[in-house]
């Protein structure tokens, strides 16, 4: 397992190869190094240049993030992944933002340029690919009930709208945050019905056969309340919870008990990682090797 590094380790940094890293706070729980290094090992079998690529992890506090970007660039790092809380912070600190990430207002993947970083967001791709793979559901053809109005929810909402979901209902307890998200994304809703509601009072006209996506943190702890009561909804086609630790949240357990197909966010982590490594390497990335490294295969 890759050690947890800090900015102090850059004082004596020496690596004769292409360095990649994930930045977060805390970061010791991250399984991204195992995932990416497994893929790089397999890629080396067909292209020896990847034998000198390696993925590290750095614990970087929010107040040190701006400095970290400068120091990692100076140290020659080629690619970075970002976790909470750095995804939004980076948006105003990189020199170029991929147009697809502009609408989300956050980036999770950075690629080195001679003068700084360019930012991408691979979470939406990861979500859409994971939902199709684990639940057999296409975002383009399915009504969506999205739980949450934070950064993860905004990324999911943008992806759902860009793929043309027939309707998007957003549930969030704080009305102001819910309304703000609806306002931010309404310009790309096109023909999609866009509605907000309080999770404690689902409207009577919610569509049956919807995909429920949990983009809140409710479920990380055993004592967390359900973000919504599945029994209060017209029977969903599936429930996708972005949380992957624990592997089954209370929301998933509640849905499973009534026979609703469920999946956790580990598959999303894998596929957003696949896309990030594709951006850096401009090569085919073995998704199966990544999935195996985190216990999905």
DSSP the chain: -PPEE-GGGGGG---SSEEEEEEESS-TT--HHHHHHHHHHHHHTT-GGGGGEEEEEEE--GGGHHHHHHHHHHTT--EEEE-TTHHHHHTTTSSEE-HHHHTTT--SEEEEETTEEEEE--HHHHHHHHHHHHH---GGGS-EEEE--SHHHHHHHHHHHHTT-SEEEEE-S-HHHHHHHHHHHGGG-TTSEEEEE-TTS--TTPPTTPEEEE-SSTTSSTTPPPSS-GGGSSPPSEEEES--SSSS-HHHHHHHHTT--EE-THHHHHHHHHHHHHHHH-S---HHHHHHHTT--
Among candidate residues 28, 52, 87, 288, the one labeled active-site is 87
Is there a catalytic annotation at residue 288?
no
Tell me if 37 sits within 8 A of 291, measured CB to CB: no
DSSP lists the bridge partners of residue 238 as 211
Question: Which candidate, 234, 268, 227, places its Cα nearest to that of 251?
Answer: 227
So which residues are the catalytic ones?
87
């Amino acid at each position: 397992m890759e050690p947890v590094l800090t900015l102090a380790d850059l004082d004596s940094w020496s690596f004769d190869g292409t360095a990649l890293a994930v930045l977060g706070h805390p970061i010791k729980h991250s399984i991204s190094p195992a995932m990416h290094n497994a893929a790089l090992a397999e890629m080396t079998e067909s292209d020896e240049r990847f034998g000198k690529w390696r993925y590290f992890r750095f614990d970087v506090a929010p107040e040190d993030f701006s400095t970290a970007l400068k120091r990692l660039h100076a140290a020659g790092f080629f690619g970075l992944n970002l976790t909470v809380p750095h995804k939004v912070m980076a948006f105003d600190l990189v020199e170029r933002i991929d147009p697809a990430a502009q609408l989300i207002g956050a980036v999770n993947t950075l690629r080195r340029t001679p003068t700084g970083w360019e930012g991408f967001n691979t979470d939406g791709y990861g979500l859409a690919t994971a939902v199709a793979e684990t639940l057999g559901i296409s975002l383009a053809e399915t009504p969506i009930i999205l739980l949450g109005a934070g950064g993860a929810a905004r990324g999911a909402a943008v992806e759902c709208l860009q793929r043309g979901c027939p309707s998007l209902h957003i549930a969030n307890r704080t009305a102001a945050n819910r309304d703000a998200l609806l306002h931010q994304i309404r310009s790309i809703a096109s023909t999609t019905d866009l509605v907000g509601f309080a999770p404690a009072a689902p409207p009577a006209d919610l569509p049956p056969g919807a995909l429920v996506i949990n983009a809140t943190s409710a479920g990380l702890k055993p004592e967390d309340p359900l973000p919504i009561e599945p029994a209060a909804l017209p029977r969903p086609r599936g429930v996708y919870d972005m949380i992957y630790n624990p592997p089954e949240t209370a929301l998933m357990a509640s849905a499973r008990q009534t026979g609703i197909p469920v999946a956790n966010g580990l598959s999303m982590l894998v596929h957003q990682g696949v896309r990030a490594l594709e951006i850096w390497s401009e090569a085919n990335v073995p998704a199966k090797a990544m999935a195996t490294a985190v216990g999905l295969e």
